[in-house]
Structure formats: C-alpha cells, structure tokens
Amino acid sequence: MFDFAQLRSFVAVAVELHFGRAAEKLNMTQPALSRQIQALERHVGDRLLARTSRGVQLTPVGEQLLRDARRVLALADESLVNARKVAEGISGSVSVGFTSVVGQTHLPQLLTYARDQHPDIDLHLHEMVTSDQLQGLESGLIDLAMGRPLRDDNEHAYRALPPDRLVVAVPEDWQLASVAAPRVRDLHRRDLVMYNEHGARYFHDHLVRIFSAFGVQPTYVQKVTQVATMVALVRAGLGAAVIPASAHAGDRDGIAILDLPELDTYPVVARLMWRSDSDNPALHRFISALPEF
C-alpha cells in the first residue's frame, strides 16, 4: 500500500516538473526521491512521470493521480489540524446538563459566551434534574452540570453561580394575596404544593429546613418536580408554592407573587459542576476561560 510520503514526493515532482527542485523542496536526495516515485508507480501499476528532453512530464495516469493526491493530502493536513485543535481544546464538544430553572437564569449567558468566545466548541444540551446530572457526569453522558448542590456530593469540581431568591406564589383569590406584609408563619397549616424529595431533592430539603426553622407545618397537597407544574397547580387553586423568583418572571395570570424578606436569608444556590479528571480538552479550556456570570 502506498503512503503519504510517496504521495507528497509525487506531488512535489508533478508541480515542479523537475526532480532536483522537488528534492530540494522536500529536503531529500534525488535518489531517495526517485525511489519514492518508483514505489508509488509499482502500486499504481503504470508510469506516472515521463522524462523528456525538456524535463519531466505527467502521463495521463499521473495527471489523474495528481488531482486525487492533492485532495487526499489536503484532507490529511486538515485532519491533523482539526485533531490538534481538539487536543488543545480549541474545538470539540461539551455536553451540558441543566435543570429547567437554572436553564432559564444562567444557560442563556453560557450559550452566548460559547458562541462569542468558543465558536468551534459545540454544546450539546440535556435538560435533567440535578441527581441525574451527577450520575451523567460519572457515566460520561455529560461533561458539565448546571444544577443544585446536593449534600452528599463532594466529589466534583465546581464553580458557584449567582444565587436566586425565594418567593411565594399563591392563588390570586386567596386572602393571603392581599396581606400587606406576609411572613413565613402565614404558610402554617395552609395547603402547599411541595417539591418531590427524589426528583427535586435540593428544593425539598431546602424548604424542609426553612419550615423547621420557623416552626411552620404546611399541608402538602401535591409533590411535583418541575416549578412550571407547581405554578400551574397554584393557578388551579390547589395551594401555595415556594418558588425561585427567576422561575416566574412572566405571566402571573391567576396567581399572586409574595415577597417575604425572611426568605432572603435562605438563597437558592446553583453550581457549574464537572469531573476534574475529565479527559475532554474542550471542557477544561471552556471552564478555564469562563468569566464570572
């Protein structure tokens, strides 16, 4: 089978139409160059070059091979360049997991940064709850997680994202919606749509700590995972819900959003998380140059 050295030798002679100049260009001796051409001709089964009184000319077979050889060598050179870019993290892909709420608040900035600063790195997005993201990091499904810290996760490298604050969503016809200065205690014994302890573990545990600190015992009417579902249930009149402020900045038809200053001491935190031993160069380049949000 021929090799790239033989192809490069042939292209050099075919372009220069002179063995001496081609050998000088390739920094090799003429006899060595002639052996490369002869070996390539044996693979082809025909002559590629013809010596004449005027120098060297391409045979019809050589003319065809020259067209193809240039494409092959250009593709080979491009492949090496692309491989080096991947090795250096200049190009490649990063799979990103994100929760729906973190996706609304921080994902747009991440995508803008990637587009502007790393146009050759492709981001592949996966909407997942935090626990699934952590499993995804371990399995290699994702490279970067955008989620909530869990108490038993001490293994991943991370960068803190700006915190969010909690507010209370209530049906607009509730008496609580018109209270001038509502407090956490006002949720005592009230119907509340709560977070599922498995699918939304961070929020579930966070609210349990808050209610315990204030001596509040709501009546949990439903437990769900997604904030959008909670808001829909509040709008349907099932109960109140404690949600991140950024998760409901749009349509408020049928609900009232209450700001409780007491909740400001219990911010909602989020992180970018990744495996420090990841072998993805694009991930490490992406993270190392990532500005503060």
User: How far is Cα 206 from Cα 112, in angstroms, rounded to an integer?
Assistant: 31
User: How far is Cα 3 from Cα 37, in angstroms, rounded to an integer?
Assistant: 11
Question: Which residues sit opposite 94 in a β-bridge?
Answer: 123
User: How far is Cα 14 from Cα 18, in angstroms, rounded to an integer?
Assistant: 8
Q: Which string of DSSP letters, residue by residue, matches 130-144?
A: HHHHHHHHHHTS-SE
The domain segmentation of the chain, as residue ranges, is 4-87, 92-162+270-288, 166-266
pTM for the structure as a whole: 0.73
Contacts of 151 (CB under 8 A, 6+ apart): 205
Tally Cβ neighbours within 10 Å of residue 37.
22
pLDDT in tens, 112-168: 998 998 999 999 999 998 889 999 999 999 999 999 887 666 688 999 999 999 999
How would you classify the pairing of strands 191-195 and 219-224? parallel
One-letter amino acid identity for 133? Q
User: How far is Cα 13 from Cα 57, in angstroms, rounded to an integer?
Assistant: 9
pLDDT in tens, 25-79: 999 999 998 899 899 989 888 999 988 767 789 999 989 999 999 999 989 888 8
**Is the model's pLDDT at 105 over the cut of 70?**
yes
Q: Residue 204 half-sphere exposure, CB side, CA atoms within 13 Å?
A: 19
Given this model, what pLDDT does residue 235 score? 94
Are 4-87 and 166-266 equal in CATH topology? no
CATH 3.40.190.10 for the 92-162+270-288 domain, yes or no? yes
**Is the model's pLDDT at 91 over the cut of 90?**
no
Q: Are 144 and 113 in contact (CB under 8 A)?
A: no
Query: Is the dihedral angle over the CA atoms 101, 102, 108, 114 positive or is it negative?
Result: negative
Q: What is the mean pLDDT of residues 174-178?
A: 92
CATH 3.40.50.300 for the 166-266 domain, yes or no? no
Residue-wise burial string across 189-205, b where 16 or more C-beta atoms lie within 10 A, e elsewhere:
ebbbbbbbeebbbbbbe
Query: Is the dihedral angle over the CA atoms 256, 260, 261, 265 positive or is it negative?
Result: negative
Q: Are 292 and 162 in contact (CB under 8 A)?
A: no
**Assigned architecture for domain 4-87:** Orthogonal Bundle (1.10)
Q: Which string of DSSP letters, residue by residue, matches 2-51?
A: --HHHHHHHHHHHHHS-HHHHHHHHTS-HHHHHHHHHHHHHHHTS--EEE
